[in-house]
A = this chain, B = another copy of it.
Amino acid sequence: MAIDREKFPPLYRTVAANDAGLESHSYVPDGLDVLTSHPLNDAPGANPEQFIGLALSTCLNATLEAIEERRDLPHSSQVHTIVEMARDTRGFQFYLTAEVKIPGVDHETALAMVDLAERRCPVAKLIGDNDNVVVKLVTEFSAATPVEG
């Protein structure tokens, strides 16, 4: 199962950094620079939960867009990933639910597209086998209200 990396050299390389911890900022040299803060305080700032949710939503929807293009379908897919953080017996866990809406096609076609996207999207390849990660087709997105403190 190991991939022959010599045969497939990198097409793209980037760096994402955090130097000062959670109450600081995370950045890509010469690129995105984002204020960060702990998810449970009121300070403005993004957090790891949001970054991994953005990774999955963007990657899955980019993959769906490519599938739509290949099938000559107009782009109608949307992906909203709900990320929950909870305690565990040791430390914390993140739980991801990627809700996919494809209003432009019938249910059967949409299901097949989600299944294919999950197998193609590189972020889903990294985390999709995890029990904490669910990708599902929906007709309406969940409300996903904040947890009351």
Instruction: Mark A residues whose CB is within 8 Å of B.
Output: 1-3, 5, 8-22, 26, 28, 31-32, 34, 36, 38-40, 46-62, 64-65, 75, 77-96, 119-120, 122-123, 125-127, 130-133, 144-147
Contacts and interface: CB of A to CB of B under 8 A. Distances in A.
A140 to B, nearest CB: 14
Contact of A78 (B5, B18, B123): B18
Nearest to A145: B13
A58 B26 contact: yes
A12 to B, nearest CB: 4
Contacts of A144: 13, 15
Contacts of A12: 39-40, 49, 84-85, 146-147
Contacts of A48: 54-55, 58-59, 62, 122-123
A87 B78 CA distance: 25
